[in-house]
A and B are shown apart, each in its own frame.
Chain A
Amino acid sequence: MSTFDALMGGFATALQPGILLYGVGGCFLGTLVGVLPGIGPALTIALLLPLTYKVPAAAMFVLFAGIYYGAMYGGSTTSILINAPGESATMVTAMEGNRMARRGRAGPALATAAIGSFVAGTIGTIALTFFAPWVVEIALAFGPAEYAALSVLALVAVSSVLGNSTLRGLIALAVGLLLGFVGVDLQTGQPRLTFGAAELLDGVEVTVVLVGIFAVGEALFLAWQGHFADGEVMKLSGSVKLSREDWKRSWKPWLRGAALGFPFGALPAGGSELPTLLSYYAEKRLSKHPEEFGKGAIEGVAGPEAANNASAAGVLMPLLTLGIPTSATAAVILSAFQGYGIQPGPLLFTQQSGLVWTLIASLYIGNVILLLLNLPLVGLWVKLLYIPSQWLYAGILVISTVAVYGAGNSLFDVGMLFAFGVLGFAMRRLDIPAAPLIVGMILGPLLEQSMRQALVISQGDWGTFASRPLSASLLAIAAALLVMPRLVSMLRKAPRQESPASDARQ
Chain B
Amino acid sequence: MSTWLKISNKRFPIAAGIGLFVLAAVGVVGVMNIPKPIIDDAVGPRMLPAAASLFLLILAMGFTQAAYQGRCPDAADDPEMAPRPGGAVRGAWLLAGLAALMGLLATVGIGAAGTVGFALFAQAFGSRSALRALLIGFLFSLAIWLLFDQALGVKLGPFLSLGSLFTAG
A and B interact: yes
> Which residues of chain A have a CB within 8 Å of any CB of chain B?
50-51, 54, 164, 167-168, 170-171, 174-175, 177-178, 181, 185, 187-188, 190-195, 216, 219-229, 388-395, 397-399, 401-403, 405-407, 409, 411, 414-415, 418, 421, 426, 428-431, 444, 447-448, 451-452, 455-456, 460, 462
Contact B117 A401 (CB under 8 A): yes
Contact B42 A219 (CB under 8 A): no
Contact B3 A178 (CB under 8 A): no
User: 17 additional contacts, CB 8 Å, given A174-B24, A225-B81, A406-B148?
Assistant: A192-B49, A193-B31, A193-B49, A221-B75, A223-B93, A224-B83, A225-B83, A225-B84, A225-B87, A226-B86, A389-B126, A398-B101, A398-B140, A406-B155, A406-B156, A411-B102, A411-B106
Q: CA A24 – CA B83 in complex, angstroms?
A: 40
Contacts of B35 in A (CB 8 A): 190
Contact B27 A224 (CB under 8 A): no
Main secondary structure of the interface of A (DSSP, over half): helix
Contact B63 A226 (CB under 8 A): no
Do A223 and B98 contact each other (CB < 8 Å), given the known contacts A181-B48, A403-B148, A426-B19?
Answer: no
Contacts of B90 in A (CB 8 A): 223-224, 226
Contacts of B141 in A (CB 8 A): 398, 402
What distance in Å separates the Cβ of B149 from its nearest Cβ neighbour in chain A?
Answer: 8
Contacts of A221 in B (CB 8 A): 75
Chain B 14-39 interface 0/1 with A at a Cβ cutoff of 8 Å (1 = within) = 00100110011001001101110111
Contacts of B164 in A (CB 8 A): none
Contact B86 A430 (CB under 8 A): no
A–B Cβ pairs within 8 angstroms, 17 of them: A54-B153, A171-B59, A178-B52, A181-B52, A187-B41, A193-B31, A223-B90, A225-B87, A388-B127, A390-B124, A390-B126, A391-B122, A394-B117, A397-B101, A397-B118, A402-B144, A448-B48
Check if B62 is an interface residue, CB within 8 A of chain A.
Answer: yes
Contact A220 B94 (CB under 8 A): yes
Q: CA A455 – CA B47 in complex, angstroms?
A: 13
Closest A residue by C-beta to B33:
A195
Q: CA A343 – CA B38 in complex, angstroms?
A: 29
Do A174 and B48 contact each other (CB < 8 Å), given the known contacts A193-B31, A195-B30, A225-B84?
Answer: no
Q: CA A181 – CA B44 in complex, angstroms?
A: 12
One of B38, B73, B117, B133 near A390 (C-beta < 8 A): B133
Q: CA A389 – CA B106 in complex, angstroms?
A: 28
Q: CA A43 – CA B19 in complex, angstroms?
A: 26
Contacts of B74 in A (CB 8 A): 429-430
One of B85, B102, B125, B153 near A414 (C-beta < 8 A): B102
Closest B residue by C-beta to A432:
B16
Check if B160 is an interface residue, CB within 8 A of chain A.
Answer: no
Contacts of A392 in B (CB 8 A): 125
Contacts of B123 in A (CB 8 A): 390
Range for the number of chain B residues in contact with chain A: 35 or more
Q: CA A406 – CA B125 in complex, angstroms?
A: 25
Contact B121 A398 (CB under 8 A): yes
What distance in Å separates the Cβ of B123 from its nearest Cβ neighbour in chain A?
Answer: 8
One of B45, B53, B152 near A188 (C-beta < 8 A): B45
Main secondary structure of the interface of B (DSSP, over half): helix
Contact A193 B4 (CB under 8 A): no
Contact A223 B91 (CB under 8 A): yes
Contact A431 B73 (CB under 8 A): yes
Contact B126 A228 (CB under 8 A): yes
Contact B157 A398 (CB under 8 A): no
What distance in Å separates the Cβ of A36 from its nearest Cβ neighbour in chain B?
Answer: 14
The 8 closest A-B pairs by CB, nearest first: A394-B121, A193-B30, A226-B84, A390-B125, A174-B56, A185-B45, A455-B42, A177-B52
What distance in Å separates the Cβ of B22 from its nearest Cβ neighbour in chain A?
Answer: 12
Contacts of B144 in A (CB 8 A): 398-399, 402
Closest B residue by C-beta to A401:
B101
Q: CA A503 – CA B63 in complex, angstroms?
A: 35
Q: Which of A394, A426, A430 has the most CB of B within 10 A?
A: A394
Contact A414 B136 (CB under 8 A): no
Contacts of B72 in A (CB 8 A): 430
What distance in Å separates the Cβ of A226 from its nearest Cβ neighbour in chain B?
Answer: 4
What distance in Å separates the Cβ of B45 from its nearest Cβ neighbour in chain A?
Answer: 4
Q: CA A390 – CA B41 in complex, angstroms?
A: 54
Check if B112 is an interface residue, CB within 8 A of chain A.
Answer: no
Check if B12 is an interface residue, CB within 8 A of chain A.
Answer: yes
Chain B 83-123 interface 0/1 with A at a Cβ cutoff of 8 Å (1 = within) = 11111001101100110011001100010001001110111
Closest B residue by C-beta to A180:
B52
Do A54 and B154 contact each other (CB < 8 Å), given the known contacts A190-B34, A398-B144?
Answer: yes
Q: CA A153 – CA B113 in complex, angstroms?
A: 45
Contacts of B97 in A (CB 8 A): 394, 397
Check if B43 is an interface residue, CB within 8 A of chain A.
Answer: yes
Contacts of A394 in B (CB 8 A): 97, 117-119, 121-122, 124-125, 127, 133, 137, 140
Contact B49 A178 (CB under 8 A): yes
Contacts of B145 in A (CB 8 A): 402
Q: CA A464 – CA B134 in complex, angstroms?
A: 63
Contacts of A428 in B (CB 8 A): 75
Q: CA A61 – CA B141 in complex, angstroms?
A: 27
Contacts of B98 in A (CB 8 A): 216, 397, 401, 418, 421
Contact A219 B121 (CB under 8 A): yes
Q: CA A403 – CA B141 in complex, angstroms?
A: 12
Contact B73 A224 (CB under 8 A): no
Closest B residue by C-beta to A394:
B121
What distance in Å separates the Cβ of A178 from its nearest Cβ neighbour in chain B?
Answer: 5
Contact B45 A224 (CB under 8 A): no
Contacts of A192 in B (CB 8 A): 30-31, 34, 45-46, 49
Contacts of B121 in A (CB 8 A): 219, 390, 393-394, 397-398
Contacts of A190 in B (CB 8 A): 34-35, 37, 45
